Structure 1
Amino acid sequence: MGSGSPKLNTVVCPNCKRPVRPKECSRKSLSKRYVLVTYCCPRCGIELITEHIEVT
């Protein structure tokens, strides 16, 4: 697979009130198969998206 980062759309940050492209700010292993990835606003650092990703 490519660089490993999914194509992220811009979202409007509830804090900055501006469209931003979330950047990955933390990655936590939940189990051998799943990781929890958190994307934050690059401007203010607030958490925007959290997703479970299956490790293949």
Structure 2
Amino acid sequence: MQIQLSDVDTALAVVLNPELQSMNYDILSKKLDGLTYDEVLELASQSETKIDISFN
């Protein structure tokens, strides 16, 4: 999700775009095409978007 949302500037953009509200493999495939595993990890670590999944 960090990679998928890396170009999103506001939470409102996510709320207004249903395609961003769950995993969108089309978006991810475009961003990850041709990258190695290490490049994918680097891309995720550079994203300012932070995802916190908490289970209560």
How high is the TM-score relative to the length of structure 2? 0.21
Per residue, is there more helix in 1 or in 2? 2
How high is the TM-score relative to the length of structure 1? 0.21
